[in-house]
Structure formats: structure tokens, C-alpha cells
Chains A and B, each alone.
Chain A
Amino acid sequence: MKLNNKILISNSLLSLFMLVVTGLGTYYVVNTTIYDELDFHLLQHKADIQQQLMEDPNSLDEIKRLGGLGSYEWVEISDFDQSITLHSNNFSTIDTVRYANVSELPESYRKLTTTLSVGGSHYLLEIYEEVAAWEKISMTVMLSVLAALFIWVILLYVVNQYAFGRILSPFYDTVDRLEHISSPNELGEPFPEPNTYEIRVLNNALNTMLTQIKSSFDDQRKFIQNASHELLTPLSIIRQKAEKLISDSEQLDPSSLERLHEIQQTAVRLTRLSNALLLISRVENKQYEMSDEIDITQIVEQVLKELADFTEIKEITIETEYSRQAVIKGNKELIHSAVYNIIQNAIKFSPDGGKIWITIAENGSGQIVLFVKDEGPGIPEDLIDQVFERFRKGDKLSGHGSSSPGLGLSIVKSICELHGCEYKAVNNPDKGVSFSLIF
């Protein structure tokens, strides 16, 4: 979950909690106040009646008569029946229908049940007072508090979203940039220095780190390039010395000849290896012109012609299908080399009399795809993700890698990365491997 959403949600939850607590709290407080007030009022009333009866004990009947008439507030006086303790005040809230002809709905009343003493005799006094009116007030208070709080929560959410978006935007810029860094070659501009302290610290740290990574990466590539370059001379000397000796084979016994041949072969292979590394590091160091207009179809045809010797002897059928004119911009020599490696690979692992399908077509998103499918043994599933890696571990074990140091596909990879195209290797469901380059 994104950081600002997290903050937003926790804020909103807190606000909602506050809203509920405050709403309920307000309601409770208002209600309590109202009941206190009502009870006070009822006691007052009782005191008034008592007062009046003290002054004039004969007015009891009139009080009974008049007291029973009120609709919001009325009094009932009856003989004391021992149902309550003498002189105690008992409050309760009851729901009752006062006038069935006016409304069937019961209304809420506060009732004080107490005793009256008139001239030595006791009466049961019940005073009722309507609560409904008061309840409406408390309801209104609660609702307005809730409404205010609700508006506040909404406002908080909107403002938060905007404000967090603003405050966190440099942070998100950084995250976004980091997500898009695919290799130390493509660092682009350094991270900016925003005025938020933490993000500035973060960006500066990232800048330092990435610069260090890039420079050590550059150093490493330069080293590989220089080392491969420097190896070429001694290797060619070894090779040529061996060849010189071999060419006069008459002078040598067979076992020395064979040893010399091994020396020569090893020297040749090391030279190839150095050349491949040199090519890869030159590609990675971007030392190639990228301005050629390249017709992929033409390249494929040219490569097939160059490799015709091998397809003929292995009696491999090549089926080509070019459904689209495929011209891209880049370096012709490199693209040729990538295509050459892929097709050579397919031929190398095809069984005699096998078939290779080469297709140039357009995929769903309008990109040109070169598709090479063979009928070879395929690549073990656990290695298929690493076939494009340099000196991968499985080389010694896998059928596909056992015959070379496996730099051919690494060359393909680096060339593809330079040209911004994708590369993929997939085992076919029946047999063989499909390689695709997506330009």
C-alpha cells in the first residue's frame, strides 16, 4: 500500500473513531443534563404542591382536579398504599399513551413517585413530565455535532490527500525513478534536492550510492575491455608459434603434434573468448554508431546464406515467413551478429534433418518480432532464465551450453539491450526452443 494512503486511512479511522465517541458522548452528556434538569423540575413541583398544601390543606381536591388536566405535565394524587417508602423520591422514565384519541403512539415521560403529607395523612404523589420535547433537543444537538464532525472528516480526507500528495511528491518521484532504473548504465540525471529534509537526505544518499555503483561498474567494464584487449597479443603469439611448428608436421612425432594442436586450439578458443568479451564490453560502453537503417529480413537472409553450409550438411529445412517489412534503426554489424548467434544456435542444436522456423511478424503492440524456433533438445527449465547470462553456472552440465563458454547469447543480450529490444527464450511444448527478439 502506498505511504500516503496508509497515512490517510489511519487518519480517517482515527477521525471516524473520534466522531463516534464524540457523538455518543455528546448525546450522553446532553441527555444526562436534561434528565437532571427534569428531575430538579419535578422536585420543585413537588415542593410547590407540598408548600401549597401546607398553607391550605383544603386545596388538595383542587390540585387533584387541576393537576390531572395538563398534557405536558400532570399530577396524580392517590391514597398512600405502602408501595414505596415514605418520604422517598423515586424517578423513572415511562412510555405511555396519554390521550388515545389524539395519538396512538406512546410518548416518553419522566415520572416522580413520592409521598405527600397533608395534616398527618399520607398520599401517593405521581408527577409526570413529558420528555419528548427535551429529547428532540438532545437529538438535534447530537446530530449537529455529528454533522459537523462528519464534514470535518471529509474535509480532513480531501485536504490530507492533497496535502500529502504535495508533501510526498518528491518522495514519490524518487521511488518512481528507482523503479525504472534497469541497469547502472541508465542512471540519468541525479536525484533532485527537495526542501523536505528527510527526502533530501534520502536523495543525496541515493546519488552518492548510485554514482559509486556506476563508477565501479564503469571501471569493471573498462577493465574487462582492457584485459581482453591485452590478452589478444600474447594469445595470437602462442597460436602462431604453435601453427608454425604444426605446419612442418614432418619434423614432429604424432604425440607432440597432437599436443601442439591442443595448444593452438586452446589459444584460438581463448582468442574467441576475449573477442566476445571485447565485443560485449564495447557494446555496453556504447562505442558503436547507431545510425544505420537495418532491414531485419535482409539480415536474416544474409545470415542464412553464410550458414548455408551447415544447414545443407545437416539437411535442416529452414522455413521462413516474413509477414512484415521490418526496418529498424541501430548498428547493422551488431544486429547481424545477434541474428547470426541466434540462428547459429538453432542450427547447432537441431537434429540432422530437423526443421527451423524463422518468422518476422508484428506482435499485438505493433513491435517487430523475429522468431526462431528449432527442434533441438531444448533447455532444462531451471536454466532457461539464465541462458543469456555471461558464464552461467550450468554451462558444464546443460546440453545447450556444453559446447562453448556460452558467450553467444550474452552477446545477443548486450546487443538487444543497446538497441532497446527484448529477448526471450522459451521451451516449446513439444520439443526445441523458441528464441524471439522483439524490436
Chain B
Amino acid sequence: MRALVVEDEVLLNEELEELLLEEHFTVDTSLDFDQTEDLLLGEQYDLVLLDLSLPGGDGLDLLKLIKKQRKTSDDTAVIILTARGELEDRVQGLELGSDDYLSKPFAMPELRARIHAVLRRKFKIDDNEINIEGVSIHLDQTEVSYKNDFLDLTDTEYKMLRYLFLNKNKTVTRIALSEHVWGNKIDDRFSLDFINSHMKNIRRKLSDAGAPDLIDTVYGVGYKVKAHEA
């Protein structure tokens, strides 16, 4: 999953990046309004942590931009982080479509919990664990298990599998997977082959554990995890 941290305070920005990396996000960071705008226009994020007071513009305008984009794309979850604690701001932020609101200073565990909550809503799941035909994947730990046996997946494999699980029954293109794992700096013509190799490894590990073949290859396009409605 891809996340964007928008925060002009360098130290806090780094801290937030760290937190998201721990949560196995692929993270971009931005310190000002213009850069954020370009990133939002060009990239697709699952989560944006947005500071409202930024050099170069008002964070609420960025929120409007995200909301405008939602018309065409899947939801980007937005959590507003700001020192502006006033009710009016909070209301306006939520009205404009932010998913949650945290006033500075906040505790990192609280932010972590709210990120989980927001993502559950975004992907319409009830639990921090997704279970498809016995394979279950934890959203907050690098843990994948099949019938209580833990699979030994690498970080990248975990990220890929998690993304497919979160988008179950949807075709995920290889390019989208590549972006979700490595961000936008990687040369896609180069990275796509690697998606194949990683996918091969995931499949092997799943079948070694005796799990059913969950991952469909959509030929020439990408992958899909089938989940039959229980």
C-alpha cells in the first residue's frame, strides 16, 4: 500500500514515515504544498497523512483535490493532523471528506490505531486480519498463516499478498503492484519482471504449506485473488 506523509516539520515527517514503514507501507513524503499537489495529481495513494498548515498553501485545498480525484478512483483515506484544534477546522475537514482527524500533539499508538480503522473502512473489512480459504493475512504484522501454520514470506512478498487480499476479486495490474511495493521511483520496465519472480515465490510458498491456489494470473495484465463469498 502506498502512503503519503504531508508534514512541513522535518522531524515529525520522518517519524511518521518510520511509523508507516513499520506498517509496511511504501511511503512518499512531502514538505510543502506544491510538491504535495504534484504527488497527489500523479500518484495513487491508499493513505494520506495531511498537515493542514503548510508552506505555500492551505492543506484544506489539498483535501479538496483528493476529494475531487475520488470521483474517478478508489478512495484515498485521509487523516488530518494539525495543531489547529478548533472545532470549525475539524468540522470543515471532516465535511470536506477527511476520514479522521488528530490534533497535535498525538501519541503514535493512537495514530496507528486510527490508520488501521481508516483502512478497514476503506477496504470494507471488519478485522485486522483477512481470511480467504484458510489463508489469513494480518494487516499490522508481517504475518501470513495457513491453518495456523505461519508462512515464511519476505517483506516484499507480504506487501504484494496483502495488497491482493485487500483488493480481493479485483484484477490488480503488475504495474500497480510494482508501485505499491517499490513506489514510483523504480523504472517500471525493469521492475515488472521482478513482480513475476516474487509472485512465483509466493505461489511456491503457499503450495508448500498446502494452501489452495488462490492467485489467478490475468494473462499479460496482472493478478487476482478469488474469494468465494462464504
Which residues from chain A sit less than 8 Å from chain B, CB to CB?
229, 232-233, 235-237, 239-241, 243-244, 246-249, 254, 257-258, 260-261, 264-265, 268-269, 271-272, 274-275, 278, 287, 289, 306, 309-310, 313, 333, 337, 340-341, 344, 348, 403-404, 408
* Given A240-B72, A275-B42, CB of A264 within 8 Å of CB of B175: yes
* Given A261-B220, A403-B190, A404-B189, CB of A246 within 8 Å of CB of B171: yes
Task: Report yes or no: A278 in contact with B171, Cβ–Cβ below 8 A.
Answer: no
Interface residues of B in 147-203 (CB under 8 A from A): 156, 167, 170-173, 175-176, 179, 181-182, 184-191, 194, 197-198
Q: For residue A269, which residues in chain B have a CB less than 8 angstroms away from its CB?
A: 188
* A283, B164: Cα distance in complex, Å: 36
Pick the 6 closest A-B CB pairs, nearest first. Answer: A232-B41, A247-B170, A249-B171, A240-B73, A261-B221, A240-B72
* Given A278-B38, A337-B185, A348-B190, CB of A247 within 8 Å of CB of B172: yes
Task: Report yes or no: A309 in contact with B198, Cβ–Cβ below 8 A.
Answer: yes
Q: For residue B42, which residues in chain A have a CB less than 8 angstroms away from its CB?
A: 232, 235-236, 271, 274-275
Q: For residue B97, which residues in chain A have a CB less than 8 angstroms away from its CB?
A: none
- Asked if B69 is at the interface of the complex by the 8 Å CB criterion, the answer is yes
* A337, B29: Cα distance in complex, Å: 13
Query: Which one of A229, A236, A403 lies within 8 Å of B44 (CB-CB)?
Result: A236
Interface code B129-154, partner A: CB below 8 Å = 1, 0 otherwise? 00000000000000000000000000
Task: Report yes or no: B167 in contact with A247, Cβ–Cβ below 8 A.
Answer: yes
Q: For residue A247, which residues in chain B have a CB less than 8 angstroms away from its CB?
A: 167, 170-172
* Given A309-B182, A404-B189, CB of A236 within 8 Å of CB of B69: yes
Chain A residue with the shortest CB-CB distance to B187: A404
- Asked if B34 is at the interface of the complex by the 8 Å CB criterion, the answer is yes
Q: For residue B34, which residues in chain A have a CB less than 8 angstroms away from its CB?
A: 287
Task: Report yes or no: B41 in contact with A229, Cβ–Cβ below 8 A.
Answer: yes
Query: Which one of B43, B186, B187, B221 lies within 8 Å of A258 (CB-CB)?
Result: B221
* A240, B221: Cα distance in complex, Å: 15
Task: Report yes or no: A257 in contact with B218, Cβ–Cβ below 8 A.
Answer: yes
Task: Report yes or no: B38 in contact with A229, Cβ–Cβ below 8 A.
Answer: yes
8 interchain pairs, CB-CB under 8 A: A236-B43, A239-B44, A241-B72, A244-B73, A247-B170, A265-B188, A268-B188, A275-B38
State how many angstroms separate the Cβ of B217 from the closest Cβ of chain A: 11
* Given A241-B72, A287-B34, A313-B194, CB of A340 within 8 Å of CB of B221: no
Chain B residue with the shortest CB-CB distance to A228: B38
Q: For residue A257, which residues in chain B have a CB less than 8 angstroms away from its CB?
A: 171, 218, 220-221
State how many angstroms separate the Cβ of A346 from the closest Cβ of chain B: 12
Task: Report yes or no: A408 in contact with B187, Cβ–Cβ below 8 A.
Answer: yes
* Given A229-B38, A265-B175, A309-B182, CB of A246 within 8 Å of CB of B221: yes
* A283, B191: Cα distance in complex, Å: 26
Which residues from chain B sit less than 8 Å from chain A, CB to CB?
29, 31, 34, 37-38, 41-44, 69, 72-73, 156, 167, 170-173, 175-176, 179, 181-182, 184-191, 194, 197-198, 218-222, 224
State how many angstroms separate the Cβ of B154 from the closest Cβ of chain A: 8
> 11 other contacts beyond A261-B220, A268-B175, A309-B198, with CB at 8 A cut-off?
A229-B38, A232-B38, A232-B42, A240-B72, A243-B176, A249-B221, A254-B219, A257-B218, A265-B175, A275-B42, A313-B194
Query: Which one of B31, B182, B187 lies within 8 Å of A403 (CB-CB)?
Result: B187
* Given A248-B170, A313-B194, CB of A344 within 8 Å of CB of B187: yes
Q: For residue A287, which residues in chain B have a CB less than 8 angstroms away from its CB?
A: 34
Task: Report yes or no: A275 in contact with B173, Cβ–Cβ below 8 A.
Answer: no
Q: For residue B198, which residues in chain A have a CB less than 8 angstroms away from its CB?
A: 309, 313
* A240, B224: Cα distance in complex, Å: 17
Task: Report yes or no: A246 in contact with B222, Cβ–Cβ below 8 A.
Answer: yes
Chain A residue with the shortest CB-CB distance to B167: A247
State how many angstroms separate the Cβ of B220 from the closest Cβ of chain A: 5
Q: For residue A235, which residues in chain B have a CB less than 8 angstroms away from its CB?
A: 42
State how many angstroms separate the Cβ of B29 from the closest Cβ of chain A: 8
Chain B residue with the shortest CB-CB distance to A312: B154
State how many angstroms separate the Cβ of B139 from the closest Cβ of chain A: 20
State how many angstroms separate the Cβ of B147 from the closest Cβ of chain A: 28
Q: For residue B220, which residues in chain A have a CB less than 8 angstroms away from its CB?
A: 254, 257-258, 261
Task: Report yes or no: A240 in contact with B44, Cβ–Cβ below 8 A.
Answer: yes
Task: Report yes or no: A237 in contact with B224, Cβ–Cβ below 8 A.
Answer: no
Q: For residue B222, which residues in chain A have a CB less than 8 angstroms away from its CB?
A: 246, 261
State how many angstroms separate the Cβ of B31 from the closest Cβ of chain A: 8
State how many angstroms separate the Cβ of B36 from the closest Cβ of chain A: 12
Chain B residue with the shortest CB-CB distance to A258: B220
Most B-side CB within 10 Å, residue of A254, A260, A309, A313 = A309
Task: Report yes or no: B187 in contact with A249, Cβ–Cβ below 8 A.
Answer: no
Q: For residue B38, which residues in chain A have a CB less than 8 angstroms away from its CB?
A: 229, 232, 275, 278
* A310, B69: Cα distance in complex, Å: 33
* A269, B224: Cα distance in complex, Å: 23
Q: For residue A265, which residues in chain B have a CB less than 8 angstroms away from its CB?
A: 173, 175, 188
